[in-house]
Amino acid sequence: MNIQESVLRRVAMRALVRVAPEENARQQVDLLLEADLRGVPSHGLLRLPRVIDRIANGVTDPAATGRHEWLAEGYLDVDGGRGLGPVVALSAVAALKDRVARTGIAVAGVRNSNHIGMLGYYAEAAARDGLTMIALSTSEALVHPWGGRRAMIGTNPIAIGVPVGAGEVFMMDTATGVVSMGEIYDHANRGQPIPDHWALDAEGRPTTDATAAKSGAIAPFGQAKGYALGLAFELLVTTLAQSAIGRAVQGTLDDDRVCNKGDVFILIDGPAVDLRGYLEELRAMPAVEGANGVLIPGERGRACREDRLRSGVPVADEVWHRIVELAGGEE
Amino acid sequence: MNIQESVLRRVAMRALVRVAPEENARQQVDLLLEADLRGVPSHGLLRLPRVIDRIANGVTDPAATGRHEWLAEGYLDVDGGRGLGPVVALSAVAALKDRVARTGIAVAGVRNSNHIGMLGYYAEAAARDGLTMIALSTSEALVHPWGGRRAMIGTNPIAIGVPVGAGEVFMMDTATGVVSMGEIYDHANRGQPIPDHWALDAEGRPTTDATAAKSGAIAPFGQAKGYALGLAFELLVTTLAQSAIGRAVQGTLDDDRVCNKGDVFILIDGPAVDLRGYLEELRAMPAVEGANGVLIPGERGRACREDRLRSGVPVADEVWHRIVELAGGEE
């Protein structure tokens, strides 16, 4: 299906305001819809039914915005109170934004919150405000350590936002697994094999069978280096957010367990530096044979967004029907 | 040659105190020697002759420790005054350490300094002090953007240190190129081919010829994801340190140009969390077939260090002879 953004937003809002305060619902829907607009459906409205189920099951409190405690002038400790991920995250980031005007840098460690969606959402918004952000999250253990047989590390994403001059922004957002579990499920659903470096099966053997990989472990991106980074993020977030680690993490892939992963936002009010010339030079670089040229991270997503705001957002039929059902009908 | 650590230190110090104040020389030698001890000779005493040449050529000021200006309570701007890299870096980190007791987090942006050596040195020291550190540096453009033909990004390393309980530490330190230029030179010197995904030649064609790769570009690690990270670090450091970017960066690989790369240290005084059980579980994981098991980043280096403190440090003959010569003789 291809659905106008405004229609999607209205129907998703109708579904969520049945169980959540309007402003909180708006923040949650905004974030999910933004992922669909940018071509990241795995973090999009596909997740709305689970968000609603989690509220129904009492593991998400739709009214909570999080309890803020400044442990030091630049260190914000946030107990999310089981709130909606974006609601808790945006509240924390707003507090950091107030603070960095004085401290130059501030960090929030957030626990007891829910899935906050596409990390790049927060990093890009910060950069639009002229601030630099490093955002990190832990997640369920789906990635194996390099050389090991079992999943024990999250797909732990990082997003970095940097203002690059004249209101323009740089934003990158990547997970530290070589591929997402969603992509592996997608291959399994279509009966397609996966490349041999993507995953191990449940016994810890490399596999090209997507179905076998579903119960196995995803490889870290970039082999040993990506493993080192993903593990560093796991330890860093667990420490700063005082959240769960490794196989103990739950609540972003299920609908009935309290979510115990952590999120960390580092916000920096740095000097204004114009980096547009450098980025332009990168874009203009001749392509290596077989490639389409150099992309600047984040730009394909922004172009996709522009296009979909005009011509509609592709949504899987079953996702659309489920959301309409949760909204109590189309209009 | 295999040389006792104490002898190496004494001879290196004799060479450097001829042109640098004793305390500054000690910090520089400490850092270089630490790399040799940990099995990272590319960042070790191999670099001492260049350090000395740069002082002789007037592009390094051996007495400078850097001018500190707090732009905000947690934001330290450092003009290194062309000082020795470790001297400027350690001075900046010491100032951050004082500050985080009050602010919880602080950042230093350092420019106009010299090569600071192994980033992990600073991250591990911070973790030993019970603090979390993220350290980033830019460097000469040696890495090509994913899909592009030319080098325009540094090998931009990141190091992360996290205290993991009972005085133990986690430290990872990795560059964002798939391999170092030193490794490519090493293959060229031995007349060996390089794997086909390591580098492009000067015309931007993939090559297995190490000599051709020397004038070409190194691939980012982890393909598009590693490119995105390396680029993000380039932009982040350039902004926060107000340093040079891309092909304009110079002064860490030559002996006669003022160094204009940047370094960023983010220091965090976070909660004390015991992560040793998790790391132990990782170490104990059965190995995937063909692998030797799971390594925790940083641990191989620490074991190597223990071993070399006992049994001596391997140093290339020509490096040793050059240092002895610079010291004016062996004793």
Report the alpha-carbon distance of residue B167 to residue A197 in Å, rounded: 37
- Rounded to the nearest angstrom, the minimum Cα separation between B311 and chain A is 28
Q: What is the pLDDT of residues A160-180, one digit of tens each?
A: 999 999 999 999 999 999 999
- The CATH architecture assigned to B65-177+220-273 reads 2-Layer Sandwich (3.30)
| pLDDT value of residue B203 | 96
- Rounded to the nearest angstrom, the minimum Cα separation between B95 and chain A is 15
What residues in B contact A174, CB-CB < 8 Å?
Answer: 225, 228-229
What residues in A contact B102, CB-CB < 8 Å?
Answer: 72-73
Other C-beta atoms lying within 10 Å of the C-beta of residue B324:
16
Report the alpha-carbon distance of residue A287 to residue A66 in Å, rounded: 47
How would you list the strands of the sheet with A199-200, edge to edge? A206-207, A199-200, A217-218
> Which residue reads 């004082």 in tokens?
B98
- Interface with chain A: mutation pick from B236, B237, B264, B269, highest number of A CBs within 10 Å: B236
**Among all residues of chain A, which has the CA nearest to that of B105?**
A74
Looking at every residue in chain A, the average pLDDT score rounds to 97
**Among all residues of chain A, which has the CA nearest to that of B236?**
A162
- Rounded to the nearest angstrom, the minimum Cα separation between B160 and chain A is 7
Average pLDDT over residues A244-260: 97
| Residue B152: closest CA among B53, B244, B45 | B244
| pLDDT value of residue A329 | 86
Are B245 and A289 inside 8 Å of each other by CB? no
Give how far Cα B133 sits from Cα of A111, A261, B96, Å. 20, 21, 11
CATH 3.30.1370.60 in chain B is located at: 65-177+220-273
Q: What is the pLDDT of residues B113-161, one digit of tens each?
A: 999 999 999 999 999 999 999 999 999 999 999 999 999 999 999 999 9
| pLDDT value of residue A316 | 93
- Rounded to the nearest angstrom, the minimum Cα separation between A152 and chain B is 7
Other C-beta atoms lying within 10 Å of the C-beta of residue A306:
10
Least CB–CB distance from A266: residue in B109, B150, B266: B266
DSSP A90: H
Amino acid at A41: P
According to DSSP, the β-strands at B199-200 and B158-165 are unpaired
Least CB–CB distance from A104: residue in B73, B144, B287: B73
Instruction: With cut-offs at 50, 70 and 90, classify the pLDDT of residue B5.
Output: very high
Least CB–CB distance from A132: residue in B221, B239, B246: B239
Average pLDDT over residues A98-111: 98
| pLDDT value of residue A175 | 97
Q: What is the pLDDT of residues A176-225, one digit of tens each?
A: 999 999 899 999 999 999 999 999 999 999 999 999 999 999 999 999 99
User: According to DSSP H, which parts of chain A are helical?
Assistant: 5-17, 22-37, 48-56, 85-103, 120-128, 181-189, 210-214, 223-241, 276-283, 299-311, 317-327
Residue A147 has pLDDT above 80, yes or no: yes
Residue B330 has pLDDT above 80, yes or no: no
Are A239 and B148 inside 8 Å of each other by CB? no
User: Residue A312: helix, strand or coil by DSSP?
Assistant: coil
Complex ipTM value = 0.97
What residues in B contact A176, CB-CB < 8 Å?
Answer: 225
Least CB–CB distance from B268: residue in A107, A286, A287: A107
Residue B331 has pLDDT above 70, yes or no: no
Average pLDDT over residues B33-52: 96
Kindly state the percentage of chain B with pLDDT values over 70. 100
Are A148 and B294 inside 8 Å of each other by CB? yes
Q: What is the pLDDT of residues B243-259, one digit of tens each?
A: 999 999 999 999 999 99
| Residue A173: closest CA among B225, B158, B299, B179 | B225
Q: Alpha-carbon torsion A62, A39, A306, B152, what sign?
A: positive
| pLDDT value of residue A330 | 73
Read off the tokens for A10: 């209205």
Amino acid at B50: R
- Rounded to the nearest angstrom, the minimum Cα separation between A267 and chain B is 10
How would you list the strands of the sheet with A168-174, edge to edge? A67-72, A75-83, A105-113, A263-268, A132-137, A158-165, A168-174
| pLDDT value of residue A331 | 64
Output A177-182 pairs: Cβ under 8 A, ≥24 positions apart.
A177/A142, A177/A143, A177/A218, A177/A219, A177/A220, A177/A221, A177/A230, A178/A218, A178/A219, A178/A220, A178/A221, A178/A222, A178/A226, A178/B222, A179/A218, A180/A42, A180/A155, A180/A218, A181/A142, A181/A155, A181/A214, A181/A218, A182/A42
CATH of A1-56+313-331, one of 1.10.1530.10, 1.10.1740.10, 3.20.20.150, 1.20.120.530: 1.10.1530.10
**Among all residues of chain B, which has the CA nearest to that of A145?**
B294
Of residues B330 and B326, more confidently modeled: B326
CATH 1.10.1530.10 in chain A is located at: 1-56+313-331
Instruction: With cut-offs at 50, 70 and 90, classify the pLDDT of residue A135.
Output: very high
Q: What is the pLDDT of residues B75-109, one digit of tens each?
A: 999 999 999 999 999 999 999 999 999 999 999 99
| Residue A238: closest CA among A313, A152, A129, A144 | A152
Read off the tokens for A151: 């999943």
Q: Which residues of B59-98 are buried (b: 16+ CB within 10 A; e: fewer)?
A: bbbbebbbebeeebbbbbbbbbebbbbbbbbbbbbebbbe
Q: What is the pLDDT of residues B294-305, one digit of tens each?
A: 999 999 999 999
| pLDDT value of residue A122 | 98
Burial of A17 (0-12, 13-18, 19+ CB in 10 A): middle
